[in-house]
DNA sequence: TTAATCCATGTAATCGCTTGTGTAGAGCCC
DNA sequence: GGGCTCTACACAAGCGATTACATGGATTAA
């Protein structure tokens, strides 16, 4: 019921082979013939059959994006960057949500569903311990990861250790010494970012000669509610912190809310700094270390496309810079003369 | 290089036709044969080639989701609901971002790219005036829309008029009479929701015998910044409103921020109510009319699948209920005894 | 001039599955 | 027991492209 390549071939008085070459821009086609074929194809409103093309060529012209969440800010923002690039490259984007490892959504494993269906895979911030991750990598197709690293697989990340150091150092520079941290979860499969950001926090504290007080560590499970609970826990300690580093902006949002609930002023009574550069951070006046999230997606998609093209090319990982953006949620420790802090005041 | 249906057929000592029928659960296959084939297919680690299957059957087993934004809360939340259903149904989800009509991202039109590529289309809240919308509908394939209606196309929406009435009535019940509204944009291609919510606002005002003051209408362009600017504009009037209805939660967020910037307390000095049930609304203590956004996506996806299955079935639209959730951002008009307000206090 | 290239094009096999049609045997009825 | 209907299966013709290989004419090199 559709126009096929044969109809075009007949109308143009050439073989289907020539039509195929002409339309795909392959060499060894007379330019006159090519434009004639193009015109006829357009006139006939011919649309290639992807199924036939895929079957014959063995390429699917599509890639899968595998993500643990769709509706969370970080993930949807990465996704939008990815989509940007793929649409440009005329590659189909298959969206698949992997079950949340912690929540145990009992989704069927995604890896088998992807075989023979896509030419490449883009994985967004799956916890490295997720068993599905291995299956995906073992599929052996071009793969690129975002916010997550694994041996032998190219990835795009920020330097989470450095980002955490940046945030922590900012608090230290402001004269704080009782610095709390709102982490992800005590023991569950951590995201790469979680692990590294904790490390960066500890590094900054150590270099400044400040001891990390285990009493000032609390868990926010990367959610707003969690961050609120974590901050509340910190505030109800005998000696509460004067500043808190939250491993993510969303947890920092919760922390800010807890502060208000306790009648404390962010940036005055207690300083809060996050990491991510969430859209809402600006509106909540949160100091944060910004990462270019959509850009992460774009870079990873580009890298994946390169991998798919060249094949032999040694795929390499990219590391993207972050930037401290100082806002009202952080301020000098009371009774202290702060040393000049790095970062731009927004 | 992969196992084909023929390998399975040979190993099972049957024809490929039988393997095909057995594996797809078609009738007229001996149950003994069927389970034998299934076992062999599993042992051989056979995976069907979608391209071949699609070419032969004419069905693609995939649907496209067309959306103007990916990284915005409403859209990504709908998307997650859709993905949920489609994964369950084993249908591929092709994600395509249509250019933003207002921002004029010069994206190539999406409709032609979808032909022969998907069996159905799901459209999320594209402005009805977007020229691409017609092209998509004219493709003539099963289609379902979310947050948007068009003649002859099944859709899933909330009753935006009623939702706006609910929000406005809440303010009226609290004794407010100088009620402002933060709308989308003055004249640009409006979303369906925009149009209807304005209508609902006017209805509620009229029934209460309150005149709508054009001076108290401001435009927030459905963004946080826009909402902030709009509220600022309202506040700097000679006679500012005591309550404001924002057509979306995100604009309401901006409004709250403007309030704080002016030293005004939300819910005390000025009341603000939004619509959407955005994740952050709870954390910003915003009174809002909640719509079940992910559910919208799920229902639309289900409806699309039904359409694709039955074919002859008269597709019908669904309308989903909303609920007023009262929080701290709204309170009684000063010097007034409020009448009891509907909605649950959260 | 002749052989070697090269370019534009055609021929036809192939990709791996679906499905309409054909058929043999089993069970049924009268 | 002959004619029916049914079931379980095989056969083989597509589906609509891609692409290795073949071909013949034009161009170039020797």
CATH of the domain at B31: 1.10.260.40
Residue of B73, B80, B92 lying closest to A94 (CB–CB)? B92
Where residue A106 falls among pLDDT bands split at 50, 70, 90? low
Q: Indicate if B16 and B66 belong to the same structural domain.
A: no
The token pair at B328 is 């701290």
> For residue B247, what are the contacts with CB-CB under 8 A and spacing of at least 6?
B164, B181, B182, B183, B184, B193, B194, B197, B198, B220, B222, B274, B275
The single-letter DSSP state of residue A67 is E
State which residue of chain A sits closest to B92, comparing Cα positions: A94
**CA-CA distance, B9 to B278, in Å (whole number)?**
53
> A171 with A266, same domain?
yes
Query: What local confidence, expressed as pLDDT, does residue B185 receive?
Result: 83
B107 close to A (CB below 8 A): yes
Q: Please tell me the distance in Å from A73's CA to the nearest CA on chain B.
A: 7
CA of B57 to C1' of C28 (A): 37
Number of domains in chain B: 3
- Is A23 an interface residue toward B (CB < 8 Å)? no
Q: Where are the alpha helices (DSSP H) in A174-247?
A: 192-207, 224-235
Q: Which of B209, B205, B194, B212 is nearest to B169 (CA)?
A: B205
Alpha helices in A174-220 (DSSP H): 192-207
Residue B177 and residue B144 share a domain: no
Judgement on whether residues A200 and A339 belong to the same structural domain of the protein: yes
Chains A and B: how many Cβ contacts under 8 Å? Answer: 119
E strands of A164-290, at which residues? 179-183, 217-219, 243-246, 271-276, 287-290
What is chain A's mean pLDDT, rounded? 91
Q: Which residues 125-184 in chain B show a CB within 8 A of chain A?
A: none
DSSP three-state, residue A344: strand
Is B113 an interface residue toward A (CB < 8 Å)? yes
**Tokens 């403007």 -> residue:** B258
pLDDT in tens, A251-280: 999 999 999 999 999 999 999 999 999 989
The tens digit of pLDDT for each residue in A118-129 reads: 999 999 999 888
Tell whether A263 lies on the interface with B, counting CB pairs under 8 A: no
| B61 contacts on A by Cβ (under 8 Å) | none
Instruction: For residue A335, give the DSSP letter.
Output: T
Q: Do B279 and A80 touch (CB under 8 A)?
A: no
Distance A290 CA to C7 C1' (A): 55
| Same structural domain, A12 and A84 | no
CB spacing of B93 vs A92 below 8 angstroms: no
Provide the pLDDT for residue A305. 95
Residue B346, chain A, CB below 8 Å: the answer is: no
Are B91 and B310 in contact by the 8 Å Cβ rule? The answer is: no
SS3 A232: helix
- pLDDT in 10s for each residue of chain B, 346 residues: 689 999 999 999 999 999 999 999 999 999 999 999 999 999 999 999 999 999 999 999 999 999 999 999 999 999 999 999 999 999 999 999 997 644 545 567 899 999 999 999 999 999 888 889 999 999 999 999 999 999 889 999 999 999 999 999 999 999 999 999 999 887 666 778 888 999 999 999 999 999 999 999 999 999 999 999 999 999 999 999 999 999 999 999 999 999 999 999 999 999 999 999 998 998 899 999 999 999 999 999 999 999 998 766 667 899 999 999 999 999 998 865 544 444 444 4
Same domain? B119 vs B37: no
Position B312 scores a pLDDT of 60
B221 with B298, same domain? Answer: no
Q: Which residues pair with B64 in a beta bridge?
A: B94, B121
CB contact under 8 A, A253 and B283: yes
Terminal alpha carbon distance of chain A: 59
In the 121-140 stretch of chain A, whose C-beta falls under 7 Å of nucleic acid strand D? none
CA B262, B263, B267, B269: dihedral to nearest 10 degrees?
A: -90
- Is a pLDDT exceeding 70 seen at residue A103? no
Which comes out higher in pLDDT, residue B201 or A187? B201
Please give the sequence-ordered ranges of beta strands (E in DSSP) within chain B, or none if there are none.
62-67, 92-97, 120-124, 143-146, 155-158, 179-183, 217-219, 243-246, 271-276, 287-290, 318-320, 323-326, 344-345
Q: Are residues B285 and B178 in the same domain?
A: yes
Query: What CATH number is associated with residue B219?
Result: 3.40.50.2300
Q: B70 and B24, same structural domain?
A: no
Residue A111: domain span: 62-158+293-320
Which DSSP category does A181 fall into? E
Of chain B residues 39-58, which have a CB less than 8 A from chain A?
47-52, 54-55
CA of A6 to C1' of D23 (A): 22
At A335 the pLDDT is 64
CA dist., res. A223 & res. A252, Å (int): 9
| A316: closest CA of chain B, how far (Å) | 27
Handedness of CA B265, B268, B271, B277 (dihedral sign): positive
Report the candidate in A209, A205, A329, A324 with the shortest Cα–Cα distance to residue A276.
A324
Q: Give, to the nearest 10 degrees, the angle between helix B50-57 and helix A50-57.
A: 140
Mutation test of the interface with chain B: which of A87, A266, A276, A294, choosing the one with the most B Cβ atoms within 10 A?
A87
Tokens describing residue A294: 């959509």
Residues of A in contact with B253 (CB under 8 A): 280, 283
Pair B139, B69 in one domain? yes
Q: Which of A140, A173, A189, A215 is nearest to A330 (CA)?
A: A173
What is the DSSP track for B253-287? HHHHHHHHHTTPPBTTTBEEEEEE--HHHHHTT-E
Residue B187 burial by CB count (10 A; 0-12/13-18/19+): exposed, middle or buried?
Answer: exposed
Report pLDDT for A100: 61
Q: Do residues A131 and A155 touch, judged by C-beta distance below 8 A?
A: no
pLDDT for B189 equals 67
At residue B38, φ and ψ (nearest 5 deg) are -60, -45
User: Cα–Cα distances in Å, from A228 out to A220, A225, A250, B154, B202?
Assistant: 7, 5, 10, 42, 38
Q: What is the pLDDT of residue B105?
A: 54
Contacting residues of B for A87, CB less than 8 Å apart: 96-97, 107
Instruction: Note whether B48 and B143 are same-domain residues.
Output: no
pTM, rounded to two decimals? 0.93
Based on the fold, state whether residues A9 and A82 are members of the same structural domain.
no
């Amino acid at each position: 019921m559709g126009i096929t390549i044969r109809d075009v071939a007949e109308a143009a008085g050439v073989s289907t082979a020539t039509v195929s070459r002409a339309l795909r821009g392959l060499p060894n086609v007379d330019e006159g013939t090519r434009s004639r074929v193009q015109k006829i194809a357009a006139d006939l409103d011919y649309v290639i059959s992807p199924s036939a093309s895929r079957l014959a060529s063995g390429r699917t012209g599509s890639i899968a994006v595998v993500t643990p969440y769709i509706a969370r800010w970080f993930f949807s923002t990465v996704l939008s960057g990815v989509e940007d690039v793929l649409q440009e490259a005329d590659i189909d984007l298959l969206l698949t949500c992997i079950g949340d490892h912690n929540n145990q959504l009992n989704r069927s494993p995604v890896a088998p569903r992807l075989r023979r269906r896509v030419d490449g895979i883009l994985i967004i911030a799956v916890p490295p311990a997720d068993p599905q991750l291995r299956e995906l990598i073992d599929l052996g197709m071009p793969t690129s990861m975002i916010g997550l690293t694994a041996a032998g697989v190219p990835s795009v990340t920020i330097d989470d250790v450095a980002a955490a150091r940046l945030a922590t150092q900012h608090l230290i520079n402001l004269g704080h010494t009782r610095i709390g941290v709102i982490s992800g979860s005590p023991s569950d499969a951590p995201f790469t970012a979680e692990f590294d950001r904790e490390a960066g926090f500890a590094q900054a504290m150590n270099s400044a000669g400040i001891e990390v007080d285990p009493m000032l560590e609390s868990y926010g499970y990367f959610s707003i509610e969690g961050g609120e609970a974590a901050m509340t826990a910190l505030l109800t300690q005998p000696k509460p912190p004067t500043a808190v580093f939250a491993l993510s902006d969303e947890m920092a949002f919760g922390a800010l809310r807890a502060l208000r609930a306790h009648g404390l002023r962010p940036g005055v009574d207690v300083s809060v700094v996050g990491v991510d550069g969430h859209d809402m951070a600006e509106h909540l006046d949160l100091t944060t270390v910004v990462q270019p999230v959509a850009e992460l997606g774009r870079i990873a998609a580009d890298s994946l496309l390169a991998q798919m093209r060249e094949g032999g090319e040694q795929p390499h990982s990219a590391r993207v810079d972050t930037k401290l953006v100082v806002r009202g949620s952080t301020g000098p420790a009371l009774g202290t003369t702060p040393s000049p802090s790095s970062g731009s005041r927004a």
